[in-house]
Amino acid sequence: MPAAGSTAVAAEAAEPSRPAAGFVEEEGVSKLFGRFITDRAAVDEDLYYITADSMSESDPFPQRYPDRFVNVGMAEQNAVSIGSGLAQSGKNVYLSNISTFLLYRPFDQIRLDAAHANARLRLIGTSAGFSRAMYGNAHISIEDIAVLRALPNMTVVAPGDRTELLDLLAEIDQLPGPAYIRLPMESTVLPVLHPQGTRIRLGRSAVLREGDLGTLIATGHVLEQAVAWVDEWRRKGFAVRLVSMPSIKPLDTARVEELVAEGRPIATFEEHSVIGGLGSAVAETVAEAGGGVPFRRIGLPDRYPGRPGSADYLKQVLHVPGSEHVLAWFLSASRARRPSPVKAAALVDDLCYDGAVYDQRYADYADDVPFWRDLARRHGPDVLELATGTGRISIPLAKDGHDVTGIDVAPAMLREAERKRNPGLPLKLHEADMRDFDLGRRFRLVLLPCDSISHLLNDSDIAACLARVREHLADDGVFALDMVNPAATLTAEADGRWRPAFQYRDPRSGQAVEVSRARQYDPVSQVLVDEMEYRRDGVEHVERVTRHSRMLTLEQAERLLAKGGFTVTQRYGGFAGEPWTATSRHLVLVCAKSKEESR
């Protein structure tokens, strides 16, 4: 269930990879940071580095670029003011210090000189959380995320492994405004937890382990511990998905909204107060999504430990939940959610993503094909179809002589389309997510047929898709899509009652499969939940799978299209070109790019 641009990693493929080329495995976070800014300074003559008596003797920057290095001594307020002044004069400024001294003493300067002024100042805070708790209360930084993410213009990230640190440093280097990078003790050697080739981006999360019991979202230097927990639980037979969320502001809200729509328990894990950190940021999104899933924040309670000690010792003093307690919560929360059906991956593939099964289900459905063919005849010749599936529409368009490109996220659907196509057809197929693709060209006509927009469960997903459509559509091109009308189709069907749905023959085993379906519709979230039961060759053993669909009204669809830069030029109530009415089963919209530069 990856969100737009997110990285999904199968559990069995998540072995640590080698560090990035050019970085020594034993380097701690401060050395990695020092090497990064030194390399960047070689190509960016405006890059400046400031410390407040906290630099390492092995830091290469001062030796190589002494005219761009400033050590202000133990004067943290001056460090921020000097850095912000340099930034407002066009410089790219990095300010590094132990996080408690970096943030709390000069907070007024950070708020006014950096955040309010939107200065290009990068705050590198080391020894966050309980990293330096042995030195006493002045070195405990457990509210830094809460303080910084409340500041307008401020970006906040907490890398949990080497890949996240290096990629996010590169991303933040290009930002026009201030940012805070939260790091552990300066000498900490971050592990490599993402597979080689993974790219981490601001505002995006990454799946490190898959599982159907629930989801644990972790950030910062507890990510390695989260991996150990999830792997330990898997060995016991309990599979929990692990999501790394290094970008806290901006947050990957699309990912969280998808998890809420899935309906399984969600927990967050961080070495920060449960107030204001990752847990609060995710909780805000969970609440606004309106899904009502079990949710828990695993972090530090709302009190100071009152004594020095190691991180493990202080967590025991504060009764922070450990692995066994968190697993017990997932198990109890999952039981409380029953009878929510358990997804069986093979059955999901059968019904939703297996091309041969899809074609069996819709073998007699062709009502819409003449409409799309006529649209291509008038607006082609080059056509892009999103969610092309098994080529039910793209193949006839290619047979008409159009230059057709189709994308779909399901490899099995594309394989079936490849099997069905004739050699020599002007049809190119790509495996891609319609929220995040780049084909390097524009099209006269872009199609999103078959109510495929319903697979995008929230406004941010739809916005991402529309942004890609706009980028790939010629300025005078046409974008057309269709969806079902919830007012006309859900009244009788979405009552939660089981009804016979359809039959098909499993293309792998040859078994006859009977499917019954019950549907429920939440008018608040506008999500339609399909629960489907399988019986194979008459055997009464029942397996169940769930799918979620987002149902849009005409007003919502047109509002989202307008926000995405499109103007609806025609609307129909069906594929025969009949006018739209409130009782129409279908809503077909034909759109052009909006002419206004600002929307």
Query: Residue 141 has which token pair?
Result: 């930084």
Assign domain 347-487+552-593 to its CATH architecture.
3-Layer(aba) Sandwich (3.40)
Q: Indicate the CATH number of 19-182 among 3.10.20.740, 3.40.50.970, 3.40.50.2300, 3.40.30.10.
A: 3.40.50.970
CB 143 within 8 A of CB 178: no
CA distances from 297 to 193, 208, 285, 346 (A): 23, 19, 13, 32
Query: Residue 460 has which token pair?
Result: 């941010």
CA distances from 233 to 132, 227, 331, 454 (A): 30, 10, 11, 34
pLDDT for position 340: 34
Nearby residues of 385 by Cβ (< 8 Å), 6 or more positions away: 393, 394, 397, 404, 405, 406, 407, 446, 447, 448, 449
pLDDT single digits (tens) 529-588 = 777 777 776 665 555 666 677 888 899 999 999 999 999 999 999 999 999 998 898 999
CA distances from 240 to 205, 227, 244, 380 (A): 16, 10, 13, 47
Candidates 209, 236, 233, 211; CA nearest to 223 is 209
Fold: same for 19-182 and 206-337: yes
Candidates 485, 481, 484; CA nearest to 372 is 481
Nearby residues of 387 by Cβ (< 8 Å), 6 or more positions away: 407, 408, 409, 434, 448, 449, 450, 452, 455
Give the residue carrying structure tokens 């790939």: 472
Taking the C-alpha atoms of residue 325 and residue 555, their distance in angstroms, rounded to an integer, is: 46
pLDDT for position 365: 74
Candidates 529, 502, 526, 504; CA nearest to 518 is 529
Taking the C-alpha atoms of residue 588 and residue 578, their distance in angstroms, rounded to an integer, is: 10
Nearby residues of 518 by Cβ (< 8 Å), 6 or more positions away: 496, 497, 498, 499, 530, 531
pLDDT for position 16: 33
pLDDT single digits (tens) 210-237 = 988 899 999 999 999 999 999 999 888 8
| DSSP states of 183-217 | ---TT------SPTT----TT--EEEE--SS-EEE
pTM > 0.75: yes or no = no
Taking the C-alpha atoms of residue 402 and residue 227, their distance in angstroms, rounded to an integer, is: 49
411 exposed, middle or buried (CB, 10 Å; 0-12, 13-18, 19+)? exposed
Taking the C-alpha atoms of residue 309 and residue 273, their distance in angstroms, rounded to an integer, is: 17
User: Which amino acid, residue 71?
Assistant: N
Taking the C-alpha atoms of residue 569 and residue 565, their distance in angstroms, rounded to an integer, is: 13
510 exposed, middle or buried (CB, 10 Å; 0-12, 13-18, 19+)? exposed
Annotate 407-444 with three-state secondary structure: EECCHHHHHHHHHHCCCCCCEEEEECECCECCCCCCEE
pLDDT for position 384: 98
pLDDT for position 346: 42
pLDDT for position 109: 97
Beta bridge partners of residue 247, listed in sequence order: 157
pLDDT for position 380: 85
Taking the C-alpha atoms of residue 182 and residue 29, their distance in angstroms, rounded to an integer, is: 11
| DSSP states of 211-279 | -SS-EEEE-GGGHHHHHHHHHHHHHTT---EEEE--EEES--HHHHHHHHHHT--EEEEEEEETTTSHH
pLDDT single digits (tens) 377-398 = 999 899 999 999 999 999 999 9
CB 568 within 8 A of CB 589: yes
pLDDT for position 546: 65
In CATH, what number does 206-337 get? 3.40.50.920
Torsion angles phi and psi, residue 57, rounded to 5: -65, -25
CB 142 within 8 A of CB 135: no
Taking the C-alpha atoms of residue 61 and residue 73, their distance in angstroms, rounded to an integer, is: 17
Beta bridge partners of residue 352, listed in sequence order: none
Residues in the chain predicted with pLDDT less than 70, given as ranges, are 1-26, 55-58, 334-364, 491-492, 508, 522-525, 537-547, 596-599
Query: Which sequence spans correspond to the domains of the chain?
Result: 19-182, 206-337, 347-487+552-593, 495-548
